[in-house]
A and B are shown apart, each in its own frame.
Chain A
Amino acid sequence: MVRFFIIKYIAFFLGCASCFMLHSLLGVPLVLAAALPAFVGSFIPLSKQYGAHPRAAVYAGCFAGMCSAELLSDYWQLSLLALIGTSLYALTMNIFAGFGGKLGSVAFVSVALFMLTQGALW
Chain B
Amino acid sequence: MVTLVIMLLATVGALATFLLAKSAYFDAIRASSTLAIIAYLVLYVSTDNPDLYAAAFFGGTFVGMSAPHRFGWYTQVSAALLFALLFQFLVPRLNGYGGALGVSAFLSVCVCHIAILLGAPRSKNSAREAK
Footprint of B on A, CB under 8 Å? 29-32, 34-36, 38-39, 41-43, 52, 55-56, 59, 63-68, 70-71, 96-112
Besides A32-B40, A66-B98, A68-B97, 7 more A-B contacts (Cβ < 8 Å) are A32-B37, A41-B29, A97-B67, A98-B71, A99-B67, A104-B101, A107-B102
Contact across chains for B97 and A98 when beta carbons are under 8 A apart: no
Complex CA distance for A111 and B66, rounded to whole angstroms: 23
Footprint of A on B, CB under 8 Å? 14, 27, 29-30, 32-34, 36-37, 40, 50-51, 54-55, 57-58, 62-67, 69-71, 79, 94-110, 113
Residues of B with C-beta under 8 A to A109: 99, 103
Residues of A with C-beta under 8 A to B50: 29
Selected contact of A100 from candidates B27, B57, B65, CB within 8 Å: B65
Complex CA distance for A101 and B106, rounded to whole angstroms: 4
Residue pairs across A and B with Cβ atoms less than 8 A apart, 13 shown, are A31-B40, A32-B40, A35-B32, A38-B33, A55-B27, A65-B98, A70-B96, A71-B96, A98-B67, A98-B71, A100-B105, A105-B106, A107-B98
Contacts A56-B29, A101-B62 given: A108-B69 contact, CB under 8 Å? no
Residues of A with C-beta under 8 A to B98: 63-67, 107-108, 111
Chain A CB count within 10 A is highest, among B33, B57, B65, B98, for: B98
Closest CB-CB distance, B96 to chain A, in whole Å? 4
Complex CA distance for A38 and B32, rounded to whole angstroms: 9
| Tally of contacts, chain A with chain B, CB under 8 A | 141
Contact across chains for B96 and A68 when beta carbons are under 8 A apart: yes
Contact across chains for A63 and B102 when beta carbons are under 8 A apart: yes
Contact across chains for A101 and B105 when beta carbons are under 8 A apart: yes
Residues of A with C-beta under 8 A to B67: 97-99
Complex CA distance for A110 and B98, rounded to whole angstroms: 9
Query: Looking across the interface, which residue of chain B has its beta carbon closest to that of A37?
Result: B33
Selected contact of A99 from candidates B27, B29, B113, CB within 8 Å: B113
Residues of B with C-beta under 8 A to A98: 66-67, 69-71
Contacts A65-B98, A105-B102 given: A99-B30 contact, CB under 8 Å? no
Contact across chains for B105 and A39 when beta carbons are under 8 A apart: no
Closest CB-CB distance, A26 to chain B, in whole Å? 15
Selected contact of B102 from candidates A70, A96, A103, CB within 8 Å: A103
Contact across chains for A101 and B103 when beta carbons are under 8 A apart: yes
Contacts A104-B99, A107-B99 given: A42-B109 contact, CB under 8 Å? no
